[in-house]
Chain A
Amino acid sequence: MSFDPILLAPQQEEREVFPYRRVWRTALIEIAILLVLTVIAVLVTRFYTGTLTDAQRGLFSVAFAVTPLMLWIIFSYFGERRALLPRERLFAVMLLSVLAANAIGIPLVERVFAVDEWLSTASGSSRILGYALSVGVTQEFLKYLVMRYSVWPQAFHSRSDGIAYAMAASIGYATVVNLNYVFNTIADPGSAALHVAEFTLIQLAVGIIMGYFLAELKLSRDAGVFWVPGGLLFAALLTGLAITFRGGLIVGGIGPNGNASTAFQGLGIAIFLVAVLFASFYFLINNADERSRGRSRTEFTR
C-alpha cells in the first residue's frame, strides 16, 4: 500500500522578481522628505526669534537648494545600483541636464527671453502662453535633448525607464534653477525652502511627460510621429499654467492689515501637479504595460 503525499497547504506561487528599481516609490519618498524638510524650515523661520546674518541665510539656502539632488542620489541613484538590473547612465543624464540648464536654459530664459521684463505685467492668458513658449519649451526641450541623445532608445526597455530618466533630467534641471534663485536672492530660510520645493516639484511633475512619450515612442506601435512633439507642447503648456497660477496664488490680497503673501498656496499648486500627473502617468503606464502583456500572451498562444 502506498500513499501519494497530500499537500495540506496550497503550493506557494513563486513571486515574480522585479529586477528594476521602482521609480514611483523612490520618487514619492524623496518628495515626502523634501516636503517635511520644507515645513520644518518654514515653521522654524516663523517661530525662531533670533536673527540670521546674510551669510548664514545664504549658506542655508544653498544647502536647501541641493537637498533635492542629495535625496535623489540617496534614494534613486543608490537604489538603482542595488537593483538586479540597474538602469544605465542615470547619473550622466542628471549631469547633462545640469550642464544644459546652466549653459543654455537659464541664459536663454533670463537674457534672451527676459521674461520678467514683459510677462510680469501681462494679462493672464498672455502670461500662460508666454511662459509656455519661453520657459516651458526651453526646459522641456533641453530635457528631451539630454535623454534623446544620451540614453534613448537603447536604455529604454520599459515605460518606467522613461520616468526614471525624465526624473534624473528634471532633478538636474531643478538643481540649477534652485541654485540660480538662491545665488541671486537673499531670502529667509522658510521662503528659500518654499521656493526650492515648488521649483523642484513642478520640474519633477512636468518632467515625466517627456519621459513617458519617449518611452511610448520606443515601446508602443501605436505612438505616431506627433506623439513626442505633442508631449513637448503639453509639458510646456503645463509649465506656463503652473508658473502663472503659482504667481497669482502667492500674492495675497490687500486688506486693512496690509498685504500678506500666501506662500503655502504656491507649494499647494506644485503638490497638486505632482499628485495629478504622477497618478495619471502611473495609471497610463500600468494600463499600457497590461495591454502589452495581454498582446504578447495572445501572440504566444496563437
Chain B
Amino acid sequence: MIGFAETEHIELNFRQRWASYLTIIVAVLALAGGYALRVNSLNATQRFENKQIGLAARYPVNWLLEEGKTDFVFRVQDPAAVPFKTTLQMALLPFGPDALLAEIPNYLNITRATSLSTYIALQINSVTLPNGTQGLQMEYAYAASETNPALQSVPIVVRGLDVIVLRNSQALVITYRADVQSFDRNRHYFDSFLRSLEF
C-alpha cells in the first residue's frame, strides 16, 4: 500500500534541481515575510495626542479609542481579546501640591474596593519610566462580570497594573488590564505604550 522500499532513483537535470532549490527558498522567504507581517501588524501603532491636557502616546492600531470620560482621559481596548478586552488607560487625578506619591495607591485602593468586585491590591514597587521620571507601580486583581446578565457567564479574573507619576498638582495613573491568562502575553503592549508616552 505504501511501498517506499522500491523507490527508483532518477537523476534530475539542472532545471529540475534548481526549481526544487528555488521552491524551498521562495517558501522560506514567504513564510518569513508572513511572520514579519504578523509582527508588524501586532506592533503597529498610531498616535494619540491631547494638547489641552498635555499627553501623547502611541497605541496599537485597530484598538478602540475612548476619550474624555469622567474617570479617564484616554482608554483603548483590544476588540479581539476574549474573554476580557485588554485595556490601556490614562487618568489624571487632582491632588494638592503637597501630595505624596505614596498616598495615591491608598486612594486608588479605597475607590476601587467599592467599585470593583473582589478587588485586591497585590504589590507596590518603585519604578523609573523610560523618560527618567520616578513613579510607583501597583499590581492588583479583581473579578469582572459580564455586563449583560442574560449571557450567564462566570466572572473573569482580571489582573491590573498601574504606573503612577506626579505631574504638578496631578497624579497621572497609567493602567494596563488584561485577563489573568493573557496578562503576561500582552504586557509588551503596555511596555511599548510607556516607552512612547510624553507628558
* Chain A residues engaging chain B, CB cutoff 8 angstroms: 88-89, 91-92, 95, 112-114, 116-122, 126, 129-130, 132-134, 137-138, 141, 144, 148, 150, 153-154, 217-218, 223-229, 232-233, 236
Q: Which 10 A-B pairs have the closest CB atoms?
A: A133-B34, A229-B26, A141-B27, A134-B34, A92-B2, A137-B30, A118-B41, A225-B18, A225-B19, A121-B62
Q: Is the CB of B30 within 8 A of A233?
A: yes
Once the chains are docked, how many angstroms separate the CA of A154 from the CA of B7? 8
Q: Identify the stretch in B8-16, B104-112, B118-126, B154-162 within 8 Å (CB) of chain A at 4 or more residues.
A: B8-16
* Chain B residues engaging chain A, CB cutoff 8 angstroms: 1-4, 7-10, 12, 15-16, 18-20, 22-23, 25-27, 30-31, 33-35, 37-38, 41-42, 62, 79-80
Q: Is the CB of A154 within 8 A of B8?
A: yes
From known contacts A120-B80, A137-B27, infer whether A223 and B15 are also in contact, taking CB-CB under 8 Å. yes
Q: Is the CB of A236 within 8 A of B37?
A: no
Q: Is the CB of A133 within 8 A of B2?
A: no
Which chain A positions have C-beta within 8 A of B31?
Answer: 133-134, 137-138, 141
Once the chains are docked, how many angstroms separate the CA of A223 from the CA of B12? 14
Summarize B's interface: helix, strand, loop or mixed. Answer: helix
From known contacts A121-B80, A133-B30, infer whether A144 and B3 are also in contact, taking CB-CB under 8 Å. no
Q: Is the CB of A150 within 8 A of B4?
A: yes
Q: Is the CB of B4 within 8 A of A225?
A: no
Q: Is the CB of B38 within 8 A of A118?
A: yes
| Known interface pairs A88-B3, A92-B4, A118-B38; 16 further A-B residue pairs with C-beta atoms within 8 A, sorted by A's residue number | A121-B80, A122-B41, A138-B31, A141-B23, A153-B10, A153-B16, A154-B7, A154-B10, A226-B19, A226-B22, A228-B19, A228-B20, A229-B22, A229-B23, A232-B23, A232-B26
Once the chains are docked, how many angstroms separate the CA of A212 from the CA of B163? 59
Contact check: which of B16, B27, B35, B42 meets A218 at CB < 8 Å? B16
Distance in angstroms from A134 CB to nearest chain B CB is 4
Residue of B nearest to A89 (CB): B3
Contact check: which of A130, A132, A229 meets B38 at CB < 8 Å? A130
Distance in angstroms from A266 CB to nearest chain B CB is 21
Q: Is the CB of B80 within 8 A of A144?
A: no
Q: Is the CB of B38 within 8 A of A113?
A: yes
Q: Is the CB of B3 within 8 A of A227?
A: no
From known contacts A117-B80, A120-B80, A232-B27, infer whether A92 and B22 are also in contact, taking CB-CB under 8 Å. no
Once the chains are docked, how many angstroms separate the CA of A129 from the CA of B22? 21
Q: Is the CB of A121 within 8 A of B12?
A: no
Once the chains are docked, how many angstroms separate the CA of A92 from the CA of B8? 16
Which chain B positions have C-beta within 8 A of A133?
Answer: 30-31, 33-34, 37
21 pairs from A and B in contact (CB 8 Å cutoff): A89-B4, A116-B80, A118-B42, A120-B80, A121-B62, A130-B38, A132-B34, A134-B34, A134-B35, A137-B30, A137-B31, A144-B23, A150-B4, A154-B7, A218-B16, A223-B15, A225-B19, A228-B19, A228-B22, A229-B26, A232-B26
